[in-house]
């Protein structure tokens, strides 16, 4: 077909205007990354300047340089706590992913199952974890309680998004599978699961952030019992000792962790969806 041939001839090699386009894309990319970084750096600079000029004492508001210093100085303590928080977050996330996807698949099998189970999931979702944490701490060992807490908050977004994804499969494709008399499991594997993938990934991105929050919140609640060693415990501990720079250092690490988790799942999602889904990567104009 001539239509096909026309499109095929463009794929011979990068022409000059294509290289120019590529260069322009790179510059756009650079601005996209450099601009927010520059503004962030400027904000830090302003903070530093205000603290120094007004001579605000570090136990009220430490300067960024002091926080950085503390990060280096206390790194052995902080990195150990970071590792604890990270491992809780990821264990909770893995459990939430496995459980959420499995339950979503189960719910997608029948309307009745869905009606029977969904209310429980929703009750879990709308109950703030902070309210459950003390109860979990009564029932469970603190380390387990923290894990369960993080799991509970991360679980729902995975479940809800995956269930939505499984249910919003293109109904014409479902018809097509029926026309070819495909058994249910083939419909699930070749059709429903792949088409739920973008929904699953957006659920996972939300769950990643929530798992961290859940871990922190539960640790804060457990911290009073003096058991935890995660980053939230360091914050509580530093607060008791009025070691405000360390409090900020731990806070900075939590923020960095949150950003890293988000970045990780965004990259993962781009890797899987890059070539087919609009939400991943930019759309060429």
Partner 1 sequence: MSEKPLVALRGIEKRFASGVRALGGLDLDVRQGEFLSLLGPSGCGKSTALRLIAGLSEPNSGAVEWRDGARPEIGFVFQEPTLMPWTSVAKNVFLPLRLQGVAWRDAASRVREALAGVGLAGFADAYPRELSGGMRMRVSIARALVTKPPLLLMDEPFAALDEITRFRLNDDLLALAAQLKTTVIFVTHSVFESVYLSSRIAVFAARPGRVTETIEISAPRVRHSDFRLAPEFSDYARRASAALDAASGARAA
Choose between 185 and 240: whose C-beta lies nearer to partner 1: 185
Choose between 197 and 251: whose C-beta lies nearer to partner 1: 197
Question: 194, 239, 258, 266: which one contacts partner 1 (CB under 8 A)?
Answer: 194
Site pattern 5..34 for partner 1 (x: CB under 8 A):
--xx--------------------------
Q: Least distance from C-beta 4 to partner 1, angstroms?
A: 5
Q: Terminus-to-terminus CA distance in the chain, angstroms?
A: 26
User: Which secondary structure element, helix H or strand E, spans residue 227, and what is its range?
Assistant: none
Instruction: Count residues binding partner 1 (CB under 8 A).
Output: 28
Q: Least distance from C-beta 202 to partner 1, angstroms?
A: 15
Q: Least distance from C-beta 265 to partner 1, angstroms?
A: 18
DSSP-derived 3-state class of residue 13: coil
Choose between 1 and 60: whose C-beta lies nearer to partner 1: 1
Q: Give the burial string for 114-140 (b: 16+ CB within 10 Å, else e).
A: beeeeeebeeeeeeebeebbeebbeee
Applying the rule CB under 8 A, the residues between 248 and 277 that interact with partner 1 are: 273, 275-277
Number of Cβ within 10 Å of residue 80's Cβ equals: 13
Choose between 140 and 280: whose C-beta lies nearer to partner 1: 280
- Residue 153 and residue 216 in contact, taking contact as beta carbons nearer than 8 Å: no
Judged by CB under 8 A, the stretch of 37-45, 176-184, 211-219, 224-232 that binds partner 1 is: 176-184
Question: 95, 105, 167, 173: which one contacts partner 1 (CB under 8 A)?
Answer: 173
Number of helices (H), then strands (E), in the chain? 12, 0
279 touches partner 1 by CB under 8 A: no
Nearest CA to 145 out of 209, 36, 223, 81 is that of: 223
49 touches partner 1 by CB under 8 A: no
Q: Please spell the DSSP secondary structure of 178-215, one letter per residue.
A: HHTT--HHHIIIIIIHHHHHHHHHHHHHHHHHHHHHHH
- Residue 215 and residue 149 in contact, taking contact as beta carbons nearer than 8 Å: yes
* Interface ranges with partner 1 (CB under 8 A): 1-4, 7-8, 170, 172-173, 175-182, 186, 190-191, 194-195, 197, 273, 275-278
């Amino acid at each position: 077909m001539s239509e096909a041939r026309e499109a095929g001839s463009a794929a011979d090699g990068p022409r000059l205007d294509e290289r120019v386009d590529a260069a322009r894309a790179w510059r756009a990319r650079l601005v996209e990354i450099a601009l927010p970084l520059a503004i962030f750096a400027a904000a830090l600079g302003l903070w530093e300047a205000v603290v120094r000029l007004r001579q605000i004492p570090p136990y009220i508001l430490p300067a960024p340089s002091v926080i950085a210093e503390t990060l280096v100085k206390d790194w052995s303590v902080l990195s150990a706590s970071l590792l604890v928080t990270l491992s809780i977050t990821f264990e909770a996330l893995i459990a939430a992913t496995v459980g959420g996807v499995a339950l979503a698949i189960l719910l997608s099998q029948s309307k009745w199952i869905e009606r029977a189970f969904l209310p429980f999931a929703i009750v879990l979702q709308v109950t703030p974890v902070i309210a459950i944490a003390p109860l979990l701490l009564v029932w469970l060992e603190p380390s387990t309680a923290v894990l369960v807490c993080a799991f509970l908050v991360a679980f729902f977004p995975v479940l809800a998004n995956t269930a939505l994804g499984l249910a919003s499969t293109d109904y014409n494709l479902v018809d097509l599978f029926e026309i070819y008399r495909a058994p249910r499991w083939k419909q699930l594997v070749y059709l429903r699961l792949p088409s739920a993938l973008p929904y699953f990934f957006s659920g996972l991105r939300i769950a990643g952030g929530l798992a961290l929050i859940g871990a922190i919140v539960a640790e804060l609640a457990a911290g009073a019992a003096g058991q935890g060693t995660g980053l939230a415990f360091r914050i509580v501990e530093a607060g008791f000792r009025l070691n405000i720079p360390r409090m900020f250092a731990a806070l900075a690490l939590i923020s960095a962790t949150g950003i890293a988790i988000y970045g990780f799942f965004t990259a993962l999602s781009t890797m899987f969806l890059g070539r087919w889904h609009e939400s991943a990567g930019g759309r060429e104009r």
